[in-house]
Amino acid sequence: MSLLFAIHPTAEAVMISESLKGSNQITFLEQIARRENEAFYLAVETLTSLSRSPDLDVKIFKAMDKVCQMMYEQHKGR
């Protein structure tokens, strides 16, 4: 399973979903409000801005995605 992260701007929250590698099926897991975990929100915001860059550096994007994955796992462990 791959975790997917997206910012919901009006709700100021991170939307977390999952998908099997190679699948186009996405399953919504949960939403984490910015006020619940500011650092995680900002990390996903950075990941999102990296993905929009015309000079996307895949290596940096993957590293930031890994950071977001770790932060989400840490948040779940609370």
36-59 pLDDT per residue, tens:
999 999 999 999 999 999 999 999
* Residue found by looking up tokens 């290596």 in the block: 59
Please state whether the predicted TM-score (pTM) of the whole model is above 0.85.
Answer: yes
Amino acid of residue 45: E
What domain range includes position 64?
A: 2-76
How many independent structural domains does the chain possess? Answer: 1
78 has a pLDDT exceeding 90 = no
What does the DSSP 8-state code read for residue 44? Answer: H
pLDDT band for position 21 (cuts 50, 70, 90): confident
**3-state secondary structure (DSSP) of residue 73:** helix
Looking at 9-78, which runs of residues are DSSP E strands? Answer: 13-19, 27-33
Q: Kindly tell me the burial class for residue 16, based on how many C-beta atoms sit within 10 Å of its own C-beta (0-12, 13-18, 19 or more).
A: buried
